[in-house]
Structure 1
Amino acid sequence: MTQPYPLKFQPDFQERVWGGRALERFGLDLPDGVIGEGWMIADHPNGVSTVVNGELAGLGLDAVREKLGREWFGSKGYKEDARFPLLVKLLDCNDDLSVQVHPTDDYEGLPQGELGKTEMWYVLDAKPGAKIIYGLKEGVDREQLREALESGNVMDTLQEVPVSAGDTFYIPAGTVHALCAGVLVAEIQQNSDTTYRIYDYNRPGLDGKPRELHIEHSLNVTAYEGAGATSMKTDGAKPGEWLRLAHSPYFIVEKGMVSEKWELSAAPDSFTILVICEGSGHLTWEGGSQPYAAGECYLIPASLSSYAIEGQSTLLRAYLP
């Protein structure tokens, strides 16, 4: 019987026209090219992360799900014939991402087998003057958005928000948004790869051709009255306490700071995900220890009744509501 322990993964890296090489700062061995996304904990047809530590080393998260999912993911995290419910990424935005919007689970136009996409961002780093696009300006409706797209004035309908390290943004499905150049972000989201592009700055993709836009889908799924997006500064986080950043139907995300040994326990009905934002130390549990460092992500099994975090670090904790 495999004893539960924190799983560390080899990410699946994704090249993007807006990517760069900034993820190398975390000691990640990037493939050639402009790498925009590290899929750190992933169980999706477009990318699967692979365990690199312990007894399960070499198995993809999909294989872990098939072998141990009912026990390790908890009653909330495991469903027969369903993939792992969340997708955890690190994003290097060396250039602006497309202006985009994601659908809800019940959108009729979803690709076969896909979910909607509600997500949240935690800003790991931001260059001076960095910003994001975060929602429509007040009063913009479907026809105004369509007219702006047709006239080439879509940027006039969008809200721009300055960002700095430690900012967090909750982005429910239906929220028009875009990360912009100069930010490094941890993203926790539904396990979906469905994005509808509204506008892409008339630039070529990696193949030299314009990337596809999805105007009608975008107009259909946009929440013109707002979808409940919220943002906050996280300077108030205190050592040994969890600061709630996002609470959605799909995930709860909290920020914690470690300054001494912090004893914790896994929820019996849900796995826990840890994203190390800054610092280093050790994860310890009965019979084992694992060094951790910034940029790493861990899956704590629901069946691991207790564990501890030691060192000096800032981290995110995500689990199912």
Structure 2
Amino acid sequence: MSIKLYPLVFEPILQDRIWGGTKLKTDLGKNIPTQTTGESWELSTVNNNVSVVKAGEYQGKPLTDLLEQYPAEILGDKVHAQFGTQFPLLFKFLDAREDLSIQVHPNDELAKQRHNSFGKTEMWYVMQADKGSRIIVGFKEKSSPQEYLDKLESKNLIDILNQEEAKKGDVYFLETGTIHAIGAGIVIAEIQQTSDITYRIYDWDRVDANGKGRELHVEQALDAMNYNTTDTKKEYTKDENKSNTVVDCPYFTTNFLPLNGYTDISKSGDSFTVYICTEGEYTLEANNETYAFKKGDTVLVPADLTAYSLTGTATLLEIYIS
């Protein structure tokens, strides 16, 4: 049986977090279950958090089942050759009502050895930021394991970390080992490797309703951390109706596509493409059918769908593996 090719949208997997809020509903129209919903996993094959198709021919089908059935058609020849039937990326929206913990993610080698997982290289696109909100990313100056432990113990870790004011449209690319935290008042679109491995270093001494703090991973973080300064903020062009490269790394390529009118897309079939709509509305036309999307929608275009057009007034992030 051949695959019916159409753009796939999935039911959001909503995650309650101690730092979460309500902007995923007010800003992005997600049907959140609590007043502290911190994350909407838009496209995931993480264990126990597998995305399910929202509409169309494959409505109700888990993405993992589709990948078993049509791996090359969805993932693309090149991606399938590299990853088999695994979907290599995870897409999320995050609403930080409070500061997230200061944390770090291990690289592929360490994550494989310790957790049998991919590492977690990630990218943030700031969709909304309250005035004065901040991103914590990297060290101010070259540090060391000893300085990090001393500052952590004296609760002065923030003193040696780089803090930047967050603004809508900012992009941060975080290679594994980069110490970081998303600050309060920010909504982010996150693109990352398929991994849920986080080493939490400092959680602002927060406790839950039972007076219990979240687990910390101070020792595990020691050899996962990059103690050098890092250049994480990405500048990029914003030419209309064109794919402007923002991040191009071995794990994913992300383009910024400001749509104002119409653009034709032609693909090779090597990789799937994902569109995240961060502003506005648009339609995708393929095989004489039209599909409508809006702000907050994340769409997976199967690799075998190689020709289609986009029409509308919208800000899109376009992601694939090159």
Q: TM-score, normalised by structure 1?
A: 0.95
User: C-alpha displacement at 1:229, in angstroms?
Assistant: 4.1
User: C-alpha displacement at 1:244, in angstroms?
Assistant: 1.3
From 141, 144, 157, give the equivalent of 2:144: 141
**In 1, Cα distance between equivalents of 2:316 and 2:239:** 12
Question: Which residue is equivalent to 2:42?
Answer: 40
**In 1, Cα distance between equivalents of 2:168 and 2:248:** 21
From 43, 49, 54, give the equivalent of 1:52: 54
Q: Residue 44 of structure 1 contacts residue 83 of structure 1 at CA under 8 Å; is this kept in 2?
A: no
The change in CA–CA distance for 1:80 and 1:191 in structure 2 (over 3 A counts) is closer
**In 2, Cα distance between equivalents of 1:216 and 1:70:** 40
Task: Give matches, 1:1-321, under 5 Å.
Answer: 1-24=2-25, 25-78=27-80, 82-107=85-110, 110-205=113-208, 208-226=211-229, 229-234=231-236, 236-321=237-322
The change in CA–CA distance for 1:208 and 1:248 in structure 2 (over 3 A counts) is farther
Unpaired segments ≥5 residues, structure 1: none
Q: TM-score, normalised by structure 2?
A: 0.95
Please give the secondary structure, in 2, of the residue aligned with 1:50.
coil
**1:49-106 alpha-carbon deviations (Å, 9 max, x no partner):** 2111221111111111112122211123325665210000000011100000000000
Please give the secondary structure, in 1, of the residue aligned with 2:250.
coil
Please give the secondary structure, in 2, of the residue aligned with 1:204.
coil
Q: Residue 39 of structure 1 contacts residue 88 of structure 1 at CA under 8 Å; is this kept in 2?
A: yes
Q: Residue 235 of structure 2 contacts residue 246 of structure 2 at CA under 8 Å; is this kept in 1?
A: no
Of all paired residues, the percent bearing the same amino acid is 37
**In 1, Cα distance between equivalents of 2:112 and 2:45:** 22
The change in CA–CA distance for 1:109 and 1:55 in structure 2 (over 3 A counts) is closer
Q: Residue 112 of structure 2 contacts residue 118 of structure 2 at CA under 8 Å; is this kept in 1?
A: no
**In 2, Cα distance between equivalents of 1:109 and 1:63:** 24
The change in CA–CA distance for 1:58 and 1:285 in structure 2 (over 3 A counts) is same
Aligned length: 319
User: C-alpha displacement at 1:110, in angstroms?
Assistant: 5.0
**In 2, Cα distance between equivalents of 1:139 and 1:129:** 26
**In 2, Cα distance between equivalents of 1:3 and 1:109:** 35
Please give the secondary structure, in 2, of the residue aligned with 1:237.
coil
**In 2, Cα distance between equivalents of 1:30 and 1:157:** 36
2:285 partner letter: T
Q: Residue 103 of structure 2 contacts residue 201 of structure 2 at CA under 8 Å; is this kept in 1?
A: yes
**In 2, Cα distance between equivalents of 1:109 and 1:253:** 25
**In 2, Cα distance between equivalents of 1:147 and 1:216:** 13
The change in CA–CA distance for 1:108 and 1:68 in structure 2 (over 3 A counts) is closer
